[in-house]
Chain A
Amino acid sequence: QLQLQESGPGLVKPSETLSLTCTVSGGSISSSSYYWGWIRQPPGKGLEWIGSIYYSGSTYYNPSLKSRVTISVDTSKNQFSLKLSSVTAADTAVYYCARDGSGSIIWDVWGKGTTVTVSS
């Protein structure tokens, strides 16, 4: 059974870079047809797609965050990662990693989520 697990610091200072890793277990991140992505949810608010990556390394970012986001993949470790630079309090959220089947927004497997707070 495929499982995803987010990891990374729960507290980041304003203007610094948020870094999270998603570890995939029970399956290979190199499986064709799947995209791997990050989605976040500010406290009490809705979901927002941050970006996605294919195992080959092709990346796709939310235009509103594109200038600050980098997503990378490490197939040897079966992991993919998120970096969000120049964070502010508005970036405080629960960050989820998830699998998108076929790139047609079928987010069918999710991690449990990790809370990241931006504060000095």
Chain B
Amino acid sequence: QSALTQPASVSGSPGQSITISCTGTSSDVGGYNYVSWYQQHPGKAPKLMIYDVSKRPSGVSNRFSGSKSGNTASLTISGLQAEDEADYYCCSYAGSSTLGGVFGTGTKVTVL
């Protein structure tokens, strides 16, 4: 199972909106509504930001939203803030043989 494809980097100015894509296949992203997104600051453990494509865990800002179209999932960060600068990873269910999911290649978000 190959890693899901994400852009290496995305940048934006404070207050702007950015979108990170996560492209897979019909065997993972396109086949299930089980896509999650994680934020990782340097030297820290990942943090769950979105699950089941578009649901937000309690405590996560509503500036973060998720969606999916076909084989591509997306994470949008609106009202970009300096604290949003981090690495972001998507993860998709890909069948029972990969119960823990297939992760994306990761995207570095830079706040200009």
Residues of A within 8 A of B (CB): 35, 37, 39, 46-52, 60, 62-64, 96, 100-101, 103-108, 110-113
A60 adjacent to B46 (CB under 8 Å)? no
Contact partner, A48, options B47, B93, B96, B103, Cβ 8 Å: B103
Residues of B within 8 A of A (CB): 1, 3, 34-36, 38, 44-48, 51-52, 57, 89, 91-93, 96-106
CA distance in complex: A104, B32 (Å): 10
Q: Of residues B3, B45, B104, B105, which shows the largest number of chain A Cβ atoms within 10 Å of its Cβ?
A: B45
Report the minimal beta-carbon distance from B11 to chain A, rounded to whole angstroms: 19
Q: Knowing A47-B89, A105-B91 touch, does A110 contact B46 (C-beta < 8 A)?
A: yes
Contact partner, B103, options A49, A103, A111, A112, Cβ 8 Å: A49
Q: Knowing A47-B89, A105-B34 touch, does A63 contact B3 (C-beta < 8 A)?
A: no
A63 adjacent to B104 (CB under 8 Å)? no
B98 adjacent to A49 (CB under 8 Å)? yes
